[in-house]
Amino acid sequence: MICFSAAGKADRLWDVLVVGAGVAGAMAAYGAARRGLSVLLIDKAAFPRGKACGCCLNQAAVLLLEEAQFNIRALGATPLDRFYLACGGTTAKIPIPSGLAISREVLDMALINHAQNVGAAFMPRTTAQATAAFSTHREVSVVQDGIVGSVRAKIVLVADGLGGRLLRADDGLEIAANSRVGIAGMLEYPTQGYAPGIIYMACGKRGYAGLVTVENQRLHIAAALDVHAARDAAGAANALAEIIRDSGLPVPAGLPACRWHGAPALTRHRSRLFETRLFVLGDSAGYVEPFSGEGMAWALAGAKRILPLLEQAVTEWRDELGLQWQKQFRKLVGSRHRTCRAVTLVLRNRAITRLAVEALKMSPGLAGPLVRQINRPVAMA
């Protein structure tokens, strides 16, 4: 629990308050604590918890985790080495550099523990509702288990994801008019037709769905759907079944009983990534439809890259640091976002998608340049 005074104030001034304990927030908390800063990590959820995510770590993401001394393989993650792209009954089988598949329930909880092991404090079930800047710190109003109070920190990192509400929607946030929404669920048993080690991607008329085996032989399903697809199909399970069936892949048994997690509009851009004594990172800073499976690599790279600026900002805030972060973030993920946008634009044209799959079925090597680009290490300079 956060200890509040009678006036509702937290009992200390933290160096860093991280809002959001997903991949970006937990890894930023780890890095900051590892550098000797006092860190409080908060999240509105109770952990472990599921999340609308593809659950795949590409080679670039695995390298970033290993650099942070995080033993991802010890968690039972499933090795990945193939990608099956299916559309209209045709499937292309593409080799990929070794990656890993792991549920967000397991990964995020382990990352939080990793941060706690180097000194970060963690408070789940804590909602950040508003923030105000002062000359020496920021004050964030929070609610934890029904208790209202405030937390003070020299620097606030906002990593509360696509559905985050700490920053107002009009603070430079632009959502693409034709953006798809995300949905994900887990089947708690192996499923016939879906072998471990393979990412199956089903492309349909109203979106696409990825299916992959994670730890304990469970089948995870994640999709990007047209905004009205689930409503028109009378439910998420029906919409997904329609996409999978249309692609030619087998519809997993038990789909209607699956518990689904949703995500709001996926493609968005935030024009301003800082305020006084505050940085924005992770999905909160901008996102595109994650067909390429790079989402967690982007989050990990941003969490690592912000640390030198964070150390400077704790000592002395200057708006120049915010401008540097904004420039560095754009450079870090800009070309990758553009590639992902181009791929998803092609996927919205069913005729072109089918032609692409047919071509890749005959010559899988055609995908080589794109596969290498997606999996290349993220430049930190």
Give the pTM: 0.93
Tens-binned pLDDT, residue by residue, of the chain (381 aa): 455 544 445 668 999 999 999 999 999 999 999 999 999 999 999 999 989 888 999 999 999 999 999 999 999 999 999 999 999 999 999 999 989 999 999 999 999 999 999 999 999 999 999 899 999 999 999 999 889 999 999 999 999 988 888 887 556 788 888 888 999 999 988 888 999 999 999 999 889 999 999 999 999 999 999 888 878 777 888 999 999 999 999 999 888 888 899 888 888 888 899 999 999 999 998 888 766 678 899 899 999 999 999 999 999 999 999 999 999 999 888 777 788 888 888 888 888 999 999 999 999 998 898 888 888 777 554
pLDDT of residue 381: 46
CA torsion sign, 244 to 341 to 309 to 1?
A: negative
Mention the CATH class of domain 67-103+177-266+345-375: alpha beta
* Predicted pLDDT at 379: 59
Instruction: Determine the Cα angle at 30 with ends 24 and 35, to 5°.
Output: 125
Segments of 258-310 assigned E as strands: 260-265, 268-270, 274-275, 278-280, 286-287
Name the packing angle between helices 307-315 and 295-305 (round to 10°). 40
H or E element in which residue 104 lies = helix 104-117
DSSP-derived letter for residue 4 is: B
SS3 call for 6: coil
Structure tokens at 165: 């509400």
pLDDT at 362: 94
106 with 264: CB under 8 angstroms? no
3-class state of residue 103 by DSSP: coil
- Confidence at residue 337, expressed as pLDDT on a 0 to 100 scale: 79
What 3-state DSSP class applies to 146?
Answer: coil
User: Interior CA angle at 25 toward 22 and 26, to 5°?
Assistant: 75
CATH class entry, domain 9-50+104-175+268-335: alpha beta
Per domain, the residue ranges of the chain are: 9-50+104-175+268-335, 67-103+177-266+345-375
